[in-house]
Amino acid sequence: MSTSKELEKLRSTRTELEEESRSLIEKQKNLEERVKMLEENIAIEKLKNSNKAAHDAISQLESNINGLEQKLKEVSRAPETPKHAFEIKSKVAAAPEPEQEKPEIVEPTPEETAEEETVTVAPFEEPMVLGQEEYGENLEKQLEKKKRRFF
Give me the average pLDDT of each 10-residue run along the chain (151 residues). 89 97 97 97 97 96 95 82 57 56 57 57 58 64 62 50
Please give the Cα distance from 21 to 2 (Å, whole number): 28
Could you give the CA distance from residue 22 to residue 26 in angstroms, rounded to a whole number?
6
pLDDT at 140: 72
Q: What does the pLDDT read at residue 104?
A: 58
Closest CA relative to residue 91, chosen from 102, 79, 80? 102
Residue pair 107/86 in contact by the 8 Å Cβ criterion: no
Note the pLDDT of residue 13. Answer: 97
Do 83 and 90 meet the contact criterion of CB atoms below 8 Å apart?
A: no
CB 108 within 8 Å of CB 116: yes
The pLDDT value recorded for residue 8 is 94
